Amino acid sequence: MTTDAAAHVLDQARAWLAQDPDAETRAELRTLIDEAEAGSTDAVTELHARFDVRLAFGTAGLRGEIAAGSNRMNRVLVSQAAAGLARFLVNHATIGEAPSVVIGYDGRRNSQVFATDTAEIMAGAGIRAILLPRLLPTPVLAYAVRHLHADAGVMVTASHNPPNDNGYKVYLGGRDRGSQIVSPADVEIAEEILLVAAGSSVLELPRAGFETADESVIDAYVDATAAIAPAPRAQVNVVYTAMHGVGWETFARAVSAAGFDEPHVVRAQIEPDAAFPTVAFPNPEEPGAMDLATDEARAQQAELVIANDPDADRLAIAIPDAAADGGYRRLSGNEVGLLLGWWAAERNAAGRAPGDGTLACSIVSSPGLAAIARHYGLHFSNTLTGFKWISRAPGLVFGFEEALGYLVNPDDVRDKDGISAAVAFLSLASELKADGRTVADHLAAFTETFGAFASSQISIRVTDLARIASTMQRLRDQPPSQIGGIRVDRIEDLADGFGGLPPSDVLRIQLTDGSRIMVRPSGTEPKLKVYIDSSSDEGGVAERTATAAASVAALDAGMRELVG
C-alpha cells in the first residue's frame, strides 16, 4: 500500500462525503477518513475496499451491503443510478412523449428512502414517476409496469440476501413487456450512470414531486392472481410464513379472493422486519430457515407449508413426511417447478390448441420440464439463469428455475412471482385433496408418467471471490475424465455462447449415463454453485427413483471432492 494510493483513496472518500445526503453513512465515512488521516492502516484498507471498485450495474441491477462508498449500496449510488436510468429513458423515448417509470420498495433497511430518491430524481429529469403507495412485494411492481403501461420499473429490494444488503432491480416496458433488463440495455444504462457519477454532485441533481399510485394497482394484481385458480373443491390446512418480508398482506388477499380459507401463520415471521431476527439468512433454501414454519405446521397438523422470501418473488413448499426430520419435508425447487409445470400444461391443454405454448426453464433447472413439454406437444425453451431470460420465451405458458422461482401467470407478470405460484400450488393441493390424494401421491404419479428426475445442488459460499474464478479456470484447464465413477462424455463451455445461448460463465458437463452437471458462479451472492441432475424411466416408480437418486449421489460426492 503506497502513500500515493492512500492519498488517492482519501481524496475519493472526501469527494464522496461532500455529496452524501445520508447522515448515517456520512458519519460512518467521516470516522473512517479521520482514522485513515491519523495513520490507521486498517481504515485505509477499508477505504480501498469501498472505493477501489464500483458496485457494478448489470442485468441484476445493483445489489450490495448498505454502507458509504462506491462499492456499497447508499443514497449517493442510488441517486446516480436513478439519474443514469432517467437519461437512458429520455434517450429512448418517443419524440414528444415523456417516458414513465413506476417504483416499488420492500421492507428492507433504506428501501423506502432509496425509492423516494429515485422518484424525485426521475421526476426532476422530466419523467412521469409513480411510486407505489407502500411497501409491497416485487411481483406487484412487476405487474404494475404492465398494468400502468410504464416505460420502466424499479424495485428496491435485495430479495433473500443478508439483512444489511439492499438492491435495485430494473424492468422495461414496451416491447420488453415488463421483463427485467438484459443486454444491451444494461450496458447502456451502466454507461449513463458512470457519466452521471463523473459529473456533478448528486446534491445538484434536479428533483421534483412525483405521483403516488392508488390502491387500485394492488387490487388489480390481487384479482389477476386469484383468477388463476378455479373455485376450490376442498379446503387445505395451510401454514404460511412471510420470512419477515412483505408477502403476507397481498398473499392473504389473493387467497381469500380465490375462495380459500385463511392460512395459519408463523406469527414471529409474519410482519416485515428488516433485521430478520429469527433467521441467519432470510432465504427458504437455507438450512433452518423454515424451522418455525414446520413447528407451526406440526401444531396445526397442516397439510401444506407455504413460505415466501422477503420480497415474495420466491416460493418454498413443505409437505408432511413421516421420514423427515420434524415430520415435514421441504420440496426442492425442481420438484415444485415440475409439479407446477404439469399443472400449467394440463390447464393449457384444456384451453388452447395442441402445441400452442412454451414451457421454459433455466439451464440449471431440471430437464423434467422438457419431458412435460414433449408429453403435451408444447414447445420447450432452455434459457440462461434468471427470469430476465425465462420471461422472454415466445408463447410462454409457464417458466421456472430451481432457485424457488416460478412464473405461472405470464399474461400479467413477466417475472418470478411467489404469490401467484403459491395460489397455483394451493389450488393443485385442493384438487388433489378433493380426489382423495396428496402432494406426495402426485409426486409419485409424476414419476410414473414422466420418469424420475433427481437433482442436488452444491453451494460454496466464499469470502474471496478469486476462489470462484480460480475453480472455474481449473475445471477448464484440467477437465475431469470421470466424476463419482461415471465417465464424462463431454464438457460444454458457455463462455463464448453455446447452442444459441448468449455467453455466460457456465460449464455444462455431460455424463455417459445421461446425467448432467452445471457449474457457475452465483449472479447475486458470493457463491460457487453446482447443479446435478439425473433421470430414469426404467422399471416402476421405486426403481426409477432409486436409480436416479443413486446417480445423483455418486456425482454429488465426486463434485464435492473436485470443487470443495
The C-alpha atoms of residue 222 and residue 225 are separated, in whole angstroms, by 5
pLDDT higher than threshold 80 for residue 1: no
Tell me if 188 sits within 8 A of 88, measured CB to CB.
yes
Hey, what's the torsion of the CAs at 437, 441, 446, 449, to 10 degrees?
A: -80
Predicted pLDDT of residue 302: 98
From 159, 192, 214, the end of a domain falls on: 214
Coil/strand/helix, residue 423: helix
Residue matched to cell numbers 390448441: 353
Q: How far apart are CA 382 and CA 388, in angstroms?
A: 13
Q: How confident is residue 498, by pLDDT bands cut at 50, 70 and 90?
A: confident
Q: What is the pLDDT of residue 228?
A: 97
Position 257 pLDDT exceeds 70: yes
The contacts of residue 39 (CB under 8 Å, 6+ apart) are none
Are 308 and 376 in a shared domain? yes
User: How far is 138 from 104, CA to CA, in rounded Å?
Assistant: 7
Please give the backbone phi and psi of residue 167, each rounded to the nearest 5 degrees, phi first: -155, 180
Q: What is the pLDDT of residues 329-360, one digit of tens each?
A: 999 999 999 999 999 999 998 876 556 899 99
Does the pLDDT value for residue 106 go beyond 60? Answer: yes
In terms of Cα–Cα distance, which of 344, 350, 394 is closest to 373? 344
pTM for the full model?
Answer: 0.94
The residue out of 164, 186, 214 marking a domain boundary is: 214
Boundary residue ending a domain (400, 434, 468): 434
CB 451 within 8 A of CB 533: no
- For residues 193 and 293, state if they share a domain: no
Q: In this structure, are 223 and 330 located in the same domain?
A: yes
For residue 353, the model assigns a pLDDT of 57
Asked if residue 181 and residue 167 are part of one domain, the reply reads: yes
The verdict on residue 197 lying in a domain is yes
Distance between CA atoms of 293 and 282, rounded to whole angstroms? 13
In a domain, 298, yes or no: yes
Instruction: For residue 534, tell me if it sits in a domain.
Output: yes
Mean pLDDT of 225-244: 97
The CATH number that applies at residue 514 is 3.30.310.50
pLDDT at 524 > cutoff 80: no
Instruction: Say which CATH number the domain at 399 has.
Output: 3.40.120.10
Does 497 lie in the same domain as 396? no
The total number of structural domains that make up the chain: 3
Q: At 196, give phi and psi (nearest 5°).
A: -65, -45
Is-contact 319 439, C-beta < 8 A? yes
What sign has the CA pseudo-torsion 444, 450, 452, 458? negative
d(CA 55, CA 169): 14
Task: Give CA–CA dist 470/55, Å, rounded.
Answer: 21
Which H/E stretch holds residue 294?
helix 291-300
Position 35 in a domain: no
Q: Are residues 239 and 174 located together in one domain of the fold?
A: no
Query: In 160-244, where do the E strands start and end?
Result: 165-172, 179-180, 211-212, 238-241
The residues that bridge with 329 in the sheet, in sequence order, are 319
Mean pLDDT (the chain) is: 95
Residue 540 domain-assigned? yes
Residue 184 confidence (pLDDT) above 60 = yes
What's the mean pLDDT in 477-505? 92
Residue 7 lies in a domain: no
The pLDDT of residue 327 is: 95
Averaged pLDDT, 506-532: 92
Q: What are the cell numbers at 138? A: 416485487
Same domain? For 200 and 242 the reply is no
Indicate whether 160 and 175 sit together in one domain.
Answer: yes
Which of 159, 430, 504, 534 is catalytic? The answer is: 159
- Residue where the block lists cell 419477515: 244
Same domain, 205 and 269: no
In a domain, 84, yes or no: yes
pLDDT value of residue 564: 77
Contacts of 253 (CB under 8 A, 6+ apart): 218, 222
* Percentage of the chain modeled with pLDDT above 70: 99
pLDDT tops 70 at residue 29: yes
| Average pLDDT, integer, range 40-55 | 96
Q: Which residue has the cell 445493483?
A: 62
CA-to-CA distance for 471 and 519, rounded, in angstroms?
A: 10
Sheet holding 264-265, edge to edge: 264-265, 238-241, 304-308, 315-320, 328-330
- Asked if pLDDT for residue 2 goes beyond 60, the answer is no
pLDDT at 185 over 60: yes
Q: What is the pLDDT of residues 352-390, one digit of tens each?
A: 655 689 999 999 999 999 999 999 999 999 999 999 999
481: containing domain = 451-563
In a domain, 553, yes or no: yes
Q: What is the pLDDT of residue 525?
A: 75
User: Are residues 378 and 244 located together in one domain of the fold?
Assistant: yes
Q: Are residues 325 and 254 in the same domain?
A: yes
Check if 455 is active-site: no
If asked whether residues 237 and 363 sit together in one domain, one would say: yes
